[in-house]
Amino acid sequence: MSEDRFPGWHGTTILAVRRAGRVVVAGDGQVSVGQTVMKGTARKVRRLSPGGHDVVVGFAGSTADAFTLLERLEKKLEAAPGQLARACVELAKDWRMDKYLRNLEAMLIVTDGKDIFVVTGAGDVLEPEHDVAAIGSGGNYALAAARGLMEGDLDAEAVARKAMAIAADICVYTNGNLTVEVLG
């Protein structure tokens, strides 16, 4: 994704942590355009309930593009209730193959409380190793912090909150205003 085409790509941190039967998805609230903070309280983690099955999605990238993908994912989940992997694969296939969708600039973390997937426009549907996944400009900082914290006795939410705080201290495109959703 070209910085010339999409200068706001540095935009967020989304982290998912699975531990002891719970999955926590946390996202910061900063919206940056270039080097300017436009908003500090955005919600980039959403709960969907298609067919009565709770799914939590966190997104990094363009908000409009992410909402387009969320709508598509919700339709895929309605068509395949309770089959998160299938819905994510179908979304990734559409995203990669569709002439309109392939230009969307976003990434998603999707969980139903059992499985966690990172879904990209390159057609990837990735299951994280070590029960931790992260995306966005501060994603690598949050991922490293969470993996280190998983060696201790903290619960999933505490790991997510501490790792996000570490990422916010390091990444200028990430702040400490969190949206946190818990499943399980």
DSSP for 118-178, written as a single string: EEETTS-EEPPSTTEEEEETTHHHHHHHHHHHTTSS--HHHHHHHHHHHHHHH-TT--S--
* Token digits of residue 61: 């990238």
**CATH number 3.60.20.10 given to 13-173:** yes
- Residues with Cβ within 8 Å of 184's Cβ and at least 6 positions away in sequence, in order, are 21, 22, 23, 113, 114
Residue 9: what pLDDT?
46
Binding annotation for Na(+)? 168, 171, 174
How many CA atoms lie within 13 Å of 41's alpha carbon, on the beta-carbon side? Answer: 0
CA 164 to chain centre: 13
Binding annotation? 168, 171, 174
Mean pLDDT over 158-175 rounds to 97
Select, from the ranges 22-26, 91-95, 100-104, the one with the highest average predicted confidence (pLDDT).
Answer: 22-26
pTM above 0.85, yes or no: yes
Point out the residues that are catalytic.
Answer: 12
Mean pLDDT rounded to a whole number for the chain = 92
Give the tens place of pLDDT for each residue, 15-34. Answer: 999 999 999 999 999 988 88
For residue 6, pLDDT beyond 80: no
For residue 1, pLDDT beyond 50: no
